[in-house]
Amino acid sequence: MRIAFFGTGLMGSGFVRRLRGNGHEVNVWNRSGAKARALQAHGAVAFDDPAGALAGAERIHLSLADDASVDAVLEPLAGRIASGCWIVDHTTTAVRPTAERIARWAARGITFVHAPVFMSPANCAEGTGLMLVSGDRAQHDKLLPALQQMTGKVAWMGEAPELAAAFKLFGNMTLIGLMAVLGDVNRLAHAVGMSTEDAFSLFEVFNPGQTLQARAGRIAGADVTKPSFEMAMARKDVRLMIEEAQRSGIELFVMPGVAAMFDTAIARGEGALDAVAAARVAR
């Protein structure tokens, strides 16, 4: 198959190498042309504009920056993409704009599938990692063999075409949030005179990641009137963290937001409930 690939940064270039390894002919375009031309060493054909890369393409893949960049590349091509050519977008995009984009292309007779990924550049080149897909199940089943060649696992997230975009944001929020919490651990460590390495040695014997699914389940459905960790006590611990850092003139970034979450819930009269109640959306 001949594929047009738009966006050959770290992720896109890995995908192109993988597609070439699977025997596909690949036309490539990137806003900075040098990145596209570098893939000619792997057998791809580089073009100076997206319209040129469309020539003979049976499927279009994208790995761009955001919603605006996807629309900026694709909209000028609206009358030039052949009927029956599928668009597969791996860009991390917002939920509502993704739904609107898919509907807009469907009205033009083009199948647009959003397939964001939890994959590093190395995963893209090796065909490992996780790709999310949502939308019409028959479309998913038809596209699945092609996507399976690009990643280790393809997960169908449901019929609504924008669901993959939502789940991708949930996943990235969790990963970025974990990084931010580790930043506060690091700041608190320095406040009490410990090195980053010494502080993080805790995670050699304590793995909070193992509790992630259980904690999510408690937020979703636990009886918060029978607390295992009372909210008022959790709020006290957050206060200790913030105050200890401040004694050394260091401000935490994440914990003040957590404190505000607890304070809002306590103001609703939930201080004696399980701490997970603060993570729920107030009705």
The pLDDT of residue 278 is 98
Write out pLDDT tens, residues 75-112. 999 999 988 899 999 999 999 999 999 999 999 999 99
The pLDDT of residue 110 is 96
Q: State both tokens at 185.
A: 């651990």
Under 8 Å between Cβ of 92 and 65: no
Check: pTM over 0.85? Answer yes or no. Answer: yes
Q: CA-CA distances (angstroms) from residue 259 to 154, 209, 232, 280?
A: 38, 22, 11, 15
Backbone angles phi, psi at 62, to 5 degrees: -130, 145
Q: Which domains does the chain have, with CATH numbers?
A: 2-159 (3.40.50.720), 166-279 (1.10.1040.10)
Under 8 Å between Cβ of 130 and 118: yes
Write out the H or E segment, with its range, that includes residue 117: strand 117-118
Write out pLDDT tens, residues 161-188. 999 999 999 999 999 999 999 999 999 9
For residue 19, how many other CB atoms are within 10 A of its CB? 26
